[in-house]
Structure 1
Amino acid sequence: MAGGLSLSDGARVVALRSQAIRAALAGRGGMVSVNEPVDAVETRIGGWPGRLSVAAVNGPRATVVSGEPAALDELVAACEYDGVRARRIPVDYASHSSQVEELRERILADLAVIEPVSGRVPFYSTVTGEVIDTTELTAEYWFDNLRQTVRFGQVTHALAAQGFGVFVEVSAHPVLAVGIEDAVAVGTLRRGEGGWERFVASLGEAWVHGVPVEWAKVLPTGRQVDIPTYPFQRERFWLGSGGQPAAGGGLEATGHPLLGAWVGLAQSDGFLFTGRLSLAAQPWLADHAVNDVVLLPGTGLLELVLHAAHQSGCHSVEELTLETPLTLPERGEVQLQLELGAPDADGQREVTLHSRHVGDTETTDEWVRHASGVVGPVRRQPSDDLVDELAAAWPPPGAEPLSLDGLYERAAALGLRYGPLFQGVRAAWRIGDQIFAELELAEALQDEADAYGVHPALLDAALHATGLTPAAMASDSGRLPFSWRGVTLHAAGAASLRVRIVHGSDDSVSLLASDADGVPVVTVESLLTRPINAEHLNAARRAHDELPLHEVVWQPHPLAADAEVGSGGLALVRCGGGGGVGGDVVRGVVAEVLGRVQGWLGEGEGDGGPLVVVTVGAVAVGSDGGVADPAGSAVWGLVRSAQTEHPGRFVLVDTDDDEASQRVLPAAVATGEPQLAIRSGRVFVPRLERVTDSSDELLQLDPEGTVLVSGGLGTLGRLVVRRLVEVHGVRRLVLVGRRVDG
């Protein structure tokens, strides 16, 4: 023993204190974690004198309150009203409160036999907030440890100020580490990850933060390998998929996983919220598909509006109509814009939600409106009778158990495909027209539950339970949310729910969801559903999946007034096949230009400017008659590749035989454009323009014929092939390319 308590004495402290708490305090109290500084929390709980007290200060904004259950419920409601995150800790006793006083004599007697000794390692006490000698860890100390406020945040702050930069929380799941803001904090194990692999991964996290690890003892059969002695070289030219817009630049961060930022509108008292969705950033959404189309569930749209309403000071969604499905493409991402209008005389605000698809190459679709409605400041409370019903015996007396066998198989047959992350119904019962169900968020999503008002996958499971009625089980069509009315969020961050669902006569349901203690989480006065509209879904999918086509268009480029200057200072290579189309002619011209290009690069020529490669009639500009020199076109292909590898070293210019074109050649090169065409003295540059729908109609293809697609095995080729099949009805294709697989 290095000091402090022996193993047997430590076990005695843990076991006997726990027994005392269960025997005397269980069921009489509780604890709540509040995301506020301790000073603010102390002011807040002043409204419940003698009933609530600060139990622990774990960090600058991590404070725990303990006390009577009813007072804690009122505290949570007050925090939610003020926009402060507060959640119940799953215990039924009030440690670190005045209730502990009655355990004093029992604990002192139970622990009288422990024999603490002085240790060699400094011991920081969370009771005193300072270093103490471990001989002080007597029975009296361990009572104070249970009774007094835990000063964990004070201790870690003091240690960080002394230069301790890394803290390791030894536990089954990191709980205290999240409150440490002054240093790096890592855990050991995690919920659902209690094996050796997780422990070694945690060691790796500590090691990269500078903690020495004796890897030879951890992995005796492993072998150390050298890593590159230079930083990994990586350049990004495109914005990454997923992720939320960063705060700053006039934007405020929302802290929500689906809505990244918001800003107040200048010409009204409204708000604009923005976000991004993608299957790369939110892979759990792939488990929600309707007719094989992945889309954001109606509960996800509701979650977005609830969060925005809360940010604006509103507490309920008075009405929300879902107009168009928000589908998620296989590639790229979806940009979101949620707008809250100015409040009316009653404090209500109109809300609209739009999205547009951004493809892999940052091309975008048009904005599509998905939902509209009204949010308001009124906080609707469920009746006491309903709350008492869910808080009493569970399941309710007289409830008939319902079998869940085949629930999700029947849903899939109706077009509603729910993957494992959305299969949240755990048990269900029925009393007349009422359905009662237990719901649980998939384990893989539980760590992120706190980030949501109510996780869309969890609330969506409540709608799955509606499929257990005889009418729903006999139906031959699936149904989707259409209109929400009177929705109020009472508590955030739930990972499991108890729900009561009542069916109306107009294809609507009302819903009350609570946590395991019967505390209300969310109420829905009315949810109207509609049968799946397959045509609507397919249209929404096509709008995302069919990335817009683009074409190269030669656009006029203005020159300076003194454009006609001499060409003596340019390094020119004039080339072409003179209109010849034979293979030998083309190969000869390309080989000649290739030699000049390689010499230009290898001998360091052109330090004073680029090499200008001039062709005549090698590209088609507008309606000028098309390509007159195939060999020159091949040269363009070669030099474009060289331009990609060596930006700024080469310029391509295609001219005609007009004298005016020759005079403006130097001025055209001086524009800095890498590729130009000159016709009758006018300069043109290539630009990408989106192909309109009418352009597709001009492409007449025989559906019974065969279409050859060059490069058809690559990414772009596959998109072209898909369009040929879906838009033009082509059924026979020949795909050629350099790849031998695919």
Structure 2
Amino acid sequence: TTTWPPPGARRVPLDDFYTETAEAGLDYGPAFQGLTALWQTDGALHAQVALPSDPEGDATGGAGADGHALHPALLDAALQPLALGVLGADRPGSAAVPAGLPFAWSGVRLHAAGATELQVTLTPTDDGGVRVRAATPDGLPVLDIAALTLRAPAPIRAAARAEQPPTEPLYRLRWPTVPLSTTPAPTTGGWGMLGLDPRELRPRLAATLGADVVPYLDRGALTETIDAGGPAPAAVVVFCDPPGHDDAGADAHTTTRQALDVLRPWLADERMADTRLVLVTHGAVTTGPDDPGPAPGYAAVWGLARTAQTEHPDRVVLVDLDDTDSSLAALPRALATGEPQLALRHGTAHVPRLMPLPPSDPPTEPPNAPSAEPPAEP
């Protein structure tokens, strides 16, 4: 064991530390206020930190510390004395370390996991950084950082921030309606359908179009037709259906994998460049209070396909249907709108839009969405 604090160390008062850092724009949440004591020697700071306790007295680390090699809140508290330099030269202890906040790390070594308390020594290095050594109260080494590079932030005073009204409104996702085209799409090139049709939607779609929807078992069958001189369809529909497991998570994994297996080769094949891939789901999105919560298996497909749409504009269309015949009948005219994402409800087309939230309308949780408190941040 070692003597703590080091002989001759001078205590640095912390009574106003978190108040002063908040005024400087570094607002540490309750879970991050773990700096309990601080001392200064010539050219070094020595901190005592611990995971804060909740109102019932259980440490934030408790079971949570077992899941971390080093709890983020504990590591953050160990480095908080570096903020002294940011607060100004008149703050006790500010001259012991360079002014700045953590930016780049090198020579990091973790010796032990699961710590809930640390004794930390911060020593300046010749290049303007800081060396960090942390140990348990028993003196067992936990963490060494050979060099921590600092970067000075621009000070932001809370009073100044309060004087500046927000310049940007808040937004939330809405699903306004859009008029359907009077002409179904595509007008030339015809329609195809890829894969299985467990809901037997192809004949109903063909009846709506008044034309055949050519089935292809897989992409290979489609490319063989094109290579043999046949025309490439203007649009190919894929009905994405989860396998119906009792486990919603398993459905999401399976359906997303199936969609990925379609998207990857499709987007890589230049023969499909002029053919729109239409991924059809059921209940993937919630357009309003009358919709049930999103089905995980379908919602996962939307998340994946939206990324593909960003990387390959105009190649992929997402359409979410309800169980009404009128929505399936509206599918051809909905595609003619040119919208990349649509939800059809009772034959009416809805599209996602980010719309300003009125000041008098505070944000609320979306229907059937689990509420979650965001983690505290420094």
TM (normalized to structure 1)?
0.24
If asked which structure has higher relative contact order (CA below 8 Å, sep 6+), I would say 2
Larger Rg computed on CA atoms: 1
Normalization by structure 2: what TM-score?
A: 0.44
